[in-house]
Amino acid sequence: MCGIVGCIGVKNPVEYLIEGLKELEYRGYDSAGIAVKDENEIKVIKAVGKLKNLEDKVKKSGLKNPEFGIGHTRWATHGKPTEINAHPHRGAFSAVVHNGIIENYQEIKKELQKEGIEFISQTDTEVIVKLFEYYYEGDSFKAFEKTLKKLEGAYAILLITKYEDKIFFAKKGSPLIVAKNGNEIYFASSDAPLIGYAEKAHYLEDGEYGVADNEIHLYNDSQKISPYFKSLPTNKESAKKGGFRFYMEKEIYEQYDVLKENTLGRNTPDGIKFDELDREFFEGINNIIISACGTSYHAGLVGKYLLERDAKIRTNVEVASELRYREPLLTKDTLFVVISQSGETADTLETLKMAKKAGLKTLALCNVDNSSIVREADKTILLRAGIEKGVASTKAFATQVMTLWMLSNYLAQKNEYEAINEAIEVTKVDSALHEKIKRLSKRYLHGHGFFYIGRDIFFPLALEGALKLKEISYIHAEGYPAGEMKHGPIALADPDLYVVALLSKNILFEKTKSNIEELVARDATVLTVSSEYIEMTDDFIKINDTAHPMVEFFEMMLVTQLLAMEVAIRMGNDVDMPRNLAKSVTVE
Ligand code: M6R
């Protein structure tokens, strides 16, 4: 995900900007840039790829006396990762960096174009600087306030202009921090860049904006307010993990924000909108094949339930490593969908090439723009999950399922705006829930294996829960359809067989409950996850009561992820880098 830095009143601003961006590298990016005021001009330097490329360009740029500046690492969402699309974006006399998404950028762009204003990038961000300059009539602060009033969506913004020795800033929906050390003012989108430069910082709230010279002038709703300074962490590594023990834990906690980003501008009160798709693309499509591996395959299985039930399109989900060698029948009325966090999984990529060769339309659901899969596919919906460091996929899975849900709404022309928002809400980790799972985890360490059971969409979630557990705890675990246990696996039931039962109130409640009873009767140790309390099982985790199964799904997902992680932590394992596994599987 994108990163922001900025500073003013600092001896060597370029050093802070570059070093600060390095601290944000771990979040993932595909281009970077800085803008500084130098000799009364705004100079912008950008480069695609690693920060080293930017550093080299900065060294050769002949900057004379940079006074203050802003910087950015970009993870492409609107437009390809090119130098033109990289931030900062500039106008005639100012430059801007931005995190988030301006939902009404198309509208603003059209209005400004009618006024003869030209755009060079494909980004939503460029409208900010062009709008600012359009409104500028000698008072930068007024123009900035007017600009903010026009913007819809989410943003963290830093803007500089050659007419003032100031940095203008604003936050709504995307994080932004401002720190002060004497007359030195620093900005960053997360803690890490600020550590070592300042000891205290103000974490902006939504709706706050202002201007910094050698002071921080902070506003909310045109009213001046005082910054509230908090101590910054002192350890950079833990700051990168946001104070969490593992990246996986941080990524589980990030799911709420990431899902907001994933649905931004897509889930609207008028239904689902995908900038990257048009309805014509789906003309003549009667079937869907989804091809993926591991966690992405499990997301695909959820997609099958949704696409068939809601959009009424026959959908088959295939493990890519099987599909590529089994000479499948591929007909041209089939849309071939690949799902991949990394965009580099060799098996998935090969099936995509195979489908293209057979003349099928292809669509990728992927987290990494410009990856091999994105380059190969006809169309892509980016997952916007930000970089995922933990080998065990969590937030990417959440965004894959959410994207499939939105896709099935889009194809069914169904509007579940409220339910989607409700599902995002339940991914906010409740500390009491986490604490309970932490405590419970100690009872689930020494059995002879786990079964995760569920029906309907909760069956793929059972598969995913089991995969999470085995990847990081090295305990044997299987996901099973709850109704299938009696056809064999129930023979394993004894007190040392652990069962995690995903009991939906909304789908086949009584039937799943009976399946749980069958296991209890054979003395298996059962942990039930449900909104409906059932007394018979050994342990119970209560989720929120809701009328929508997908809302239950997202909360149960959270529970299974936290449980796997807490069990693995108790076993003393390296949760982020489990043995024998790689984050991106580029071999077959
Ligand atoms: O990058 P991809 O989504 O294509 O990766 C597919 C699998 O390798 C991946 O999901 C794997 O199963 C993860 N380690 C799951 O946590």
DSSP 513-558: HHHHHHHHHTT-EEEEEESS--TTSSEEEE----S-HHHHHHHHHH
For the Cβ of 257 lying below 6 angstroms from any atom of ligand 1, the answer is no
The model's pLDDT over 360-401, given as tens digits with 9 standing for 90+, comes to: 999 999 998 778 899 899 999 999 998 788 989 999 999 999
- Which of 252, 338, 393, 467 for a ligand 1 pocket mutation test, highest count of atoms within 8 Å of Cβ? 393
Task: Determine the pLDDT at residue 1.
Answer: 61
308 near 336, Cβ under 8 Å? no
Q: What was the pLDDT predicted at 104?
A: 93
Question: One-letter amino acid identity for 482?
Answer: A
Fold match between 247-421 and 429-575? yes
* Residue 292 alpha carbon, nearest atom of ligand 1: 4
CB 61 within 8 A of CB 45: yes
Question: For a substitution probing ligand 1, which of 297, 317, 339, 345 has the most ligand atoms within 8 Å of its CB?
Answer: 345
Q: Verify whether ligand 1 is closer than 6 Å to residue 194 (CB atom).
A: no
In this prediction, residue 259 carries a pLDDT of 96
Tell me the C-alpha distance between 93 and 99, whole Å: 21
Distance (angstroms) between ligand 1 centre and the Cα of 545 equals: 31
CB burial of residue 39 (10 Å; 0-12, 13-18, 19+)? exposed
Q: Is the CB of 340 under 6 A from ligand 1?
A: yes
Summary count for the chain: helices (H), strands (E): 17, 27
pLDDT recorded at residue 585: 77
- Contact yes or no for 391/576 (Cβ under 8 A): yes
Residue 228: the pLDDT is 93
Instruction: Give the model's pLDDT for residue 587.
Output: 65
Ligand 1 centre to CA of 165 (Å) is 48
Specify the residue with its C-alpha closest to ligand 1, atom 14.
392
The CATH classification number of 3-237 equals 3.60.20.10
Q: Is the CB of 372 under 6 A from ligand 1?
A: no
Domain 247-421 has CATH 1.10.3470.10: no
Mean pLDDT, each 10-residue run in order, the chain (588 residues): 91 96 80 95 94 94 94 82 92 95 93 96 94 97 97 94 97 90 94 90 94 96 93 75 91 95 94 95 97 98 98 98 94 97 91 97 91 91 89 96 98 97 97 96 90 98 98 96 94 94 97 96 96 95 97 98 97 88 71
pLDDT tens digits along 413-425: 999 999 999 999 9
pTM recorded for the entire structure: 0.77
- Residues 167/97, Cβ–Cβ less than 8 Å: no
Helix (H) or strand (E) holding 501: strand 497-502
Buried b / exposed e across 344-375, counting CB within 10 Å, b at 16+?
Answer: bbbbbbbbbebbeeeebbbbbbbbbbbbbbbe
Ligand 1 contact via 561 beta carbon (within 6 Å): no
Q: Answer yes or no: is the C-beta of 296 below 6 A from any ligand 1 atom.
A: yes
Ligand 1 contact via 192 beta carbon (within 6 Å): no
Separation between Cα atoms, residue 555 and residue 544, nearest integer Å: 8
Rounded distance, CA 372 to CA 374, Å?
A: 6
For residue 502, what are the β-bridge partners? 529
Q: Atom of ligand 1 at shortest distance to CA of 294?
A: 12
CATH class of the domain at 429-575? alpha beta
Please state the domain extents for the chain. 3-237, 247-421, 429-575
Q: How far apart are CA 127 and CA 224, in angstroms?
A: 26
From the CA of 585, how far away is ligand 1's center (Å)?
A: 8
With left for phi above 0 and alpha for psi between -120 and 50, is residue 111 left, alpha or beta?
alpha
Q: Which residues are catalytic?
A: 2, 583
Centroid of ligand 1 to alpha carbon of 324 (angstroms): 17
Q: 49-66 b/e with 16+ CB inside 10 Å = b? A: eebeebbebbeebebeeb
What is the rounded CA–CA span in Å between residue 515 and residue 483? 6
